Amino acid sequence: MVEELARQALMTGELVELFPQLCRTAVMKHLDVLTAANLVSVQRRGRQRWNILNNKPLQTVCRPWVQAHAQRMASSLDRLREVVEADITSPTPAEP
């Protein structure tokens, strides 16, 4: 549901249609959990209930985690580059 709501705000009925394996009650329970976690806000327009993703909490949690892994990956790539460059510049033994 989070991925679907990341694409666009959806009415509850639209979410029910996107998840045919779940009944409307189950979709509503999921939305209640997401709302309680401040990941989804609800705007009512007449009889329509629009569910809107609040990605700020996700960014707060994910950004430091992604940055830490990105830094480790960059360090690994730097070491790989050094090994490859050392291998390229080292003289190759002559074949007999």
pLDDT in tens, 54-72: 988 887 877 877 888 888 8
Are 46 and 27 found together in one domain?
Answer: yes
Are 42 and 22 found together in one domain?
Answer: yes
Are 8 and 49 found together in one domain?
Answer: yes
Q: Give the separation between CA 73 and CA 89, rounded to whole angstroms.
A: 24
Asked if pLDDT for residue 51 goes beyond 70, the answer is yes
What average pLDDT does the structure give for the chain?
88
pLDDT-derived band of residue 91, with 50, 70 and 90 as boundaries? Answer: low
Q: Is 49 domain-assigned?
A: yes
Residue 93 confidence (pLDDT): 61
Mean pLDDT of 77-83: 87
Residue 70 confidence (pLDDT): 83
Q: Is 69 domain-assigned?
A: yes
What's the structural domain count of the chain? 2
Domain of 76, in residue numbers: 56-88
Are 13 and 48 found together in one domain?
Answer: yes
What percent of the chain is modeled with pLDDT above 90? 55
In angstroms, the Cα distances linking 64 to 59, 60, 61, 69, 83 are 9, 7, 7, 9, 29
Shortest CA distance to 25 belongs to which of 35, 37, 38, 16? 16
